[in-house]
Every structure is written in structure tokens, then in C-alpha cells.
Structure 1
Amino acid sequence: MVLSESWWSCHGCLDEERSALLRIQSSFNYPIFLQSWGEVADCCSWEGVGCNFTTGRVVYLDLSGIREEGLGDLYLNVSLFRPFQELQSLHLSGNFIVGCVENEGFERLSGLDSLVELYLDENKFDNNILSSLGGLSSLISLSLSGNQLKGAISVDELNNLTSLQWLEFGGNEIESFKSIHGTGYDLLRLRNLEYLGLNPNHFNDSTLSSLKGLSSFKYLNIAYNQLKGSFNVTELDALINLESLDLAGNEIDKFVLSKDTRGFGNVSFISLSNSTSNGRALPFTLLQSLTKFPNLRTLYLDENNLEGSFGTTLDKDFSSLKNLKKLDLSSSTVDNSFLQTVGKITTLKSLSLHGCRLNDSIPKAQDLAYLKNLEELYMGSSTVDNSFMQIVRKITTLKILSLNGC
């Protein structure tokens, strides 16, 4: 979530807030990037500062990446931000912050009822940061990606953030969620949360059950974790609004749904990119189980090994994906049978074969000519010859043909 910048200016800032900014400058050890602060009286014109035109109060403060590594680690005095009574967006990413001064943590901002965005990415916060966030009930977006959260993290304070819609935990070493109320189902009870980013961490399949309380949930990014074998989608059955599943970089063999599964009718995006590490081919059972998502529109299978004895066994399954519009096979190893199957997905509008080796697949590639709705074909850096190009010329609906690097 990004606030509009159209009103981040004013004719003059309040003296109280100007003084507060100078105290922040000092507490951050006078970094080079804040040297211009104080050169002009109007703090609304200072770099990284935005004000409400009408009230003259600071509403936006971006201090991302202003501290050089040579300044060392920082213990943040959060009370310095309390004077900004209309503050809506606070960016503190990339500043080598290891924690907060004792009794001066983020709980000190609980009175800032306008604060809706807090970005703490790429710092050194550990699990203790979570207990100080529960009073920020107005937050809509919170990012803690790239910190030092590890193991089982407590969600009790997070569950107080009832307005939260966007939560980013990527780039940590989190294994699971926990609560003083026990473990298992419904640990996260953020009823308005729409996006949860967990890429990458150390979550496994047992994490899924703790997401059942996210009734407004639309986007789950759990790429590059430790999901293996059968992915029990039934655990997410309550997420009837789920639209996007990013599962890249895991080792999933298939999707498992029960016969009475209610959800997933809205899932339109799935990424299984880079899911064939250790030399294995993408499992046939995984590809076959994609038919359980009837409204799938976008499918990423890039950076995979798609060779195998599929024959025509996938033709019926993939041709049943009546809503699939975009298929990305970039940088994958694609054999004859799979390329033939792709030719059966006649609803496709966009196909990427960027970086694929295709010479050995020319005999079966004839079926690509039947993609009667295809508008975009990306072949950049692929190995193609004249025979393949003759097939491409038969696709009369093409609007974009990319051959960069061929």
C-alpha cells in the first residue's frame, strides 16, 4: 500500500515537528542522507518528509536506508516519533536497527490513530519486536521482511491489529506461529488481512492450518519454504476469497482437496516456479492436480524440468483449464509431449518459452498452431530454427512476438 503524494507539501511546518525531526536526525547519528535537514526552515520541504497541505503537519516520513553501515547498529527511541500526530506512513527500512531503547518501543505510538503504514524491512529486529506492535490498531500495512525473526513467533499481539490488510514476513527464519492460547487451528485471526508474505522462511505444511481465521484473505506468498510432498489444500478451505498462491521453490508433489471442499473457486494465479531442485522432474501428479482450480487464469511453471513420459496423458487435464490465459515456461526444459499438451490449451492468450531449448520439440510443436486465441509469444534466448518459425507464422492472432536473443 502506498499513499498518494499529491498533498505531501505545505507552506510551513509546525515548530514542534521541526524540532522533533532534528532530534531524529541526531539520534540516527547524523547520517549523510539527512545532512540537508535544517538548511531551510520549512521542514515540509526536507528530503523524505511529506506534510498535509491544510494542517501543515507531517503525514509521511521516509527514512529508508539513510544510515551507512559504518555508523553501526542502532537502538531506536520510538518516542521521538510521537509528536507527529497526523503521521500516516513511516518507513524505517534498511537502517541496521537491532531493537528499541528500553521502554521506548513501538507501543509508544499507540496514540497515533492515523498511522496506517509501517515498514521495518531489512533491519535486525528479533522476535521481541512483535510484543510492541499490538497497540498500533490503525495499521493497514506492516512489513518486517529481512529481519532476524526465528523459530516459532507469537501472534498474540499481531491479532490486535484488526485493521491490518497487508503483512510481510519474508526473508526471515520463521518456522511456525504460536499463541498463549495454544497451537493448531485459527492462530492468526486477522479478519481483514488480504495479503501475507512468507517468502522465504522455514515454514512447512503444518503452518496451513493456522491460517484458517483469515476470512478476507486473497494473496498467499509462501514461496521458498519447506513445503514437501502433498499440499493439503483442504487446510485452506475456509479461505473462500483466496485468489493467488505463490508456491515457488518448494517440492510439492500434488494438491489434495476433499470432495466437499468449498474454497478455491476464486484462485486465478498459481506459481510453481523453480520447483524441481535436486534434478527431479516436475511430478505428473502435481500437473494433473491443477485441474482442481477451475478458474485458474495465470500459471507460472518457469525454471522447471518439464521432461517426462507424459505422452498424451495430460492433454485432457490441461484442456479442461477453460480459463487459463497465461502460461510461463521460461527457462524450463520442455520435451515433445509437454509442448504437445500446451497446444491443447486453446484459451491461452500469453505463452512464454523464453530461454527454453526447443529444437528437439519441433515435431510436437505443430500443435502450437492451434492456439487460436494466442496474442503474446515470448521466445527470447530460446533455441529455435526455421521449422519452428514456420509454426509460429500459423498463429494468426499474435500481436506480440518477442525473439530477443534468439
Structure 2
Amino acid sequence: MVLSESWWSCHGCLDEERSALLRIQSSFNYPIFLQSWGEVADCCSWEGVGCNFTTGRVVYLDLSGIREEGLGDLYLNVSLFRPFQELQSLHLSGNFIVGCVENEGFERLSGLDSLVELYLDENKFDNNILSSLGGLSSLISLSLSGNQLKGAISVDELNNLTSLQWLEFGGNEIESFKSIHGTGYDLLRLRNLEYLGLNPNHFNDSTLSSLKGLSSFKYLNIAYNQLKGSFNVTGNLTFFDS
């Protein structure tokens, strides 16, 4: 009988994924949260790690808030997450991430077809992050709240996220959406999107017209923006005020 090189190790998780986790630990400058990684061999039991116990592969990584400010800003090498072929949920919020290593952005995860949740809240990403996300077509939930997105942000790459149902942009300084294809009433063409969070930003009344291409749209949080006066709402849309 021949066993593939990615078969179970004696540690209860895959050797290649255990090694990848230790490389992530090193790249994050050994934060206190991850100091216990490696103390036991089974990486499926490590804090913040969840595995599929049938395949032994990592399906869940919660690395939220693991880096203290004293560790400084981080340029993320996203390729470190490529070995997790069954990864479904990745949480990287609150880690003082300012961007990605050159040519090692989130486009490197385009082959992870199981990835459905990506949380990048409370970091320091700017508008450049958007161009690296377009290949993550399996995403259902994406959050970029509390970053440094400003002004008019491009939706061209976002429109490739055809499975997206939940999108959070709150806590930035975004004023509008734009596209290389010009302006119009349907700049966002996320046909499966149900929830959009824009609270707070600097959007004005014209923002609402750019959302008319969202055929599955149900919930909009646009509190604490720059809307004035009255506006018409069609369809079964719920507004949040906080």
C-alpha cells in the first residue's frame, strides 16, 4: 500500500500543516498567544486551530489579536497559509497588519476552494488590499472593518466574489465606490450579497444608487455617514441605525 506524502502523521495532524503553523508563528514574531504552539505534537490541539478529524487537515485558524503593538507593524506573507488546502475560516483581525509582502498577497489563496470566511478587521490595510481579493471566489463572508480604506474604493475585484453574502466595510473613511467601467446605478454586482456594513464612513446619498445591482440585498448598515434629507427605498431592504 502506498501512502501519499500528505497522509496523517503520528502527531494527529499533517506534518506539512504542522510545519506551516510553526512558520506562521515565526513570521508573527512569536507573540505570547502562540508561544504554546509546538509544546505538544498534535497541531489540531493548538490554540486557535481547528481540524477536520476525518482528514486531519486544518479547517479553522483564529489568529485574531495575537500581536501586541510593541511587536510593530506586520507585512503579511499570505503564502504561509497555502498548505491548508481545506481551510474554511481565517481570522487575522487586530494584528497591526499594514499590508502584504510584495507578490505574496491574498491572491496566493485563490486555489483554496473551501475558504468561505476571511476576517481582516482592525488592521492597517489601505485601498491596495482590494486588488488582491478578486481571486477568492469561494468567499461567503469578508470583513475589512476598522482599517485605513479611504476616498473612492474600486469594486472591480470585489465583483469577482460571486459567492459573497456578507461584506463589512465599517470603521473606515470611504466616500464612494468606483469602477474602471465608469459610474452607474449598479457599481456593486454581487448578486448573492445579503448584508453590507458601511457604519461609519463618509458615504453620501449617492451611495444608495450604486447598490441597485444587488439583487439579493436585504440588510444595510449605513449609520454615521453623511446621508441627508429623504431617499426612496425599493424592495425588502432593512436599514440598521447602529
How high is the TM-score relative to the length of structure 1? 0.56
Q: Once the two structures are aligned, what percentage of the paired residues are identical? A: 99
Instruction: State the distance in 1 between where 2:191 and 2:11 align.
Output: 40
In 2: Cα distance, 1:11 partner to 1:63 partner: 22
The answer to whether the 8 Å contact 1:3/1:89 transfers is: no
Alpha-carbon separation, structure 1, partners of 2:225 and 2:8: 39
Sort the Cα spacing of 1:47 and 1:10 in 2 relative to 1 into closer, same or farther, 3 A: farther
Q: Secondary structure at the match of 2:230?
A: strand
Alpha carbons 1:98, 1:124 under 8 Å: kept = yes
- Which whole-Å deviations, capped at 9, do the CAs of 1:169-197 have from their partners, x for residues lacking one? 00000000000000121000000000000
Secondary structure, aligned partner of 1:12: coil
The secondary structure found in structure 1 opposite 2:25 is helix
- Give the C-alpha shift of residue 232 in structure 1: 3.2
- Unaligned 5+ segments in structure 1 are 234-264, 270-406
Q: Match of 2:229, SS?
A: strand
Residues 88, 115 of structure 2: 8 Å contact kept:
yes
> How many Å separate the matches in 1 of 2:105 and 2:26?
18
Distance 1:113 1:6 in 2: 18
Give the match's secondary structure for 1:19: helix
Structure ID, larger Rg: 1
> How many pairs are equivalent?
238
Segments of structure 2 that go 5 or more residues without pairing to the other structure are none
What is the distance in 2 between the residues matched to 1:74 and 1:137?
26
Tell me by how many angstroms 1:266 deviates.
3.7
- What's the CA shift for 1:36? 0.3
Once the 2 structures are TM-superposed, how far is the Cα of residue 143 of structure 1 from its aligned partner?
Answer: 0.1
Decide whether the 8 Å contact of 1:81 with 1:109 is kept in 2: yes
Give the direction of change, closer, same or farther, for the CA distance of 1:267–1:212 in structure 2 (3 Å limit).
Answer: closer
**Partners of 1:169 and 1:197 within 8 A in 2:** yes
Change over 3 Å in CA distance of 1:134–1:229 after alignment to 2 = same
Q: Do the aligned partners of 1:159 and 1:188 also contact (CA within 8 Å) in 2? A: yes
Counterparts of 2:229 and 2:2 in 1: how far apart (Å)?
37
8 Å CA contact retained: 2:115, 2:139: yes
Give the equivalent residue in structure 2 for 1:51: 51
- Cα-to-partner distance string for 1:197-220 (whole Å, 9 max, x where unaligned): 000000000111110010001101
Instruction: Specify the alignment match of 2:71 in structure 1.
Output: 71
Instruction: Compute the displacement of 1:8 (Å).
Output: 16
SS at match of 2:64: coil
- Higher relative contact order (CA closer than 8 Å, sequence separation 6+): 2
Match of 1:228, SS state, is coil
Superposed counterparts of 1:7-406, under 5 Å: 12-233=12-233, 266=236
TM-score (norm 2): 0.93
Q: SS state of the match for residue 122, structure 2? A: coil
Write the deviation string for residues 25-84 of structure 1: whole angstroms up to 9, x where unpaired: 000000001000000000000000000010000000000000000000000000000000
The CA deviation string for residues 237-273 of structure 1, in whole angstroms up to 9 with x for no partner, is xxxxxxxxxxxxxxxxxxxxxxxxxxxx64566xxxx
How has the CA–CA distance of structure 1 residues 148 and 11 changed in structure 2, closer, same or farther, with 3 Å as cutoff?
A: same
Q: How far apart are residue 230 of structure 1 and its match?
A: 2.0
Contact 1:133 1:158 in 2 (8 A): yes
Using the alignment, how far apart are the partners of 2:16 and 2:39 within structure 1?
A: 17
CA contact (8 A) 1:10 1:54 kept: no
CA distance in 1, matches of 2:3, 2:135: 22
Distance 1:141 1:50 in 2: 18
Q: Distance in 1 between matches of 2:123 and 2:159?
A: 23
- 8 Å CA contact 1:9, 1:53 repeated in 2: no
In structure 2, relative to structure 1, the CA distance for the partners of 1:5 and 1:66 (3 Å cut) is: farther
Distance 1:268 1:230, change over 3 A: closer
**Cα distance change, pair 112–6 in 1 and its aligned pair in 2 (3 A):** closer
Question: Which whole-Å CA distance do the structure 2 matches of 1:2 and 1:79 have between them?
Answer: 29
Describe the SS at the equivalent of 2:210.
helix
Kept after mapping to 2: 8 A contact 1:8/1:59 = no
Does structure 2 conserve the Cα–Cα contact (< 8 Å) formed by 1:8 and 1:53?
A: no
Question: SS at 2:176's partner residue?
Answer: strand
CA pair 16-165 structure 1, distance change in 2 beyond 3 A:
same
Cα offset, 1:137, TM superposition: 0.2
Whole-angstrom CA distance in 1 between matches of 2:170 and 2:57: 33
Query: Compared with structure 1, are the counterparts of its residues 105 and 56 closer, same or farther at alpha carbon in structure 2 (3 Å cutoff)?
Result: same
**Cα shift at 1:95:** 0.1
Q: Which has the higher helix share?
A: 1
How far apart, in 1, do the equivalents of 2:171 and 2:9 lie? 34
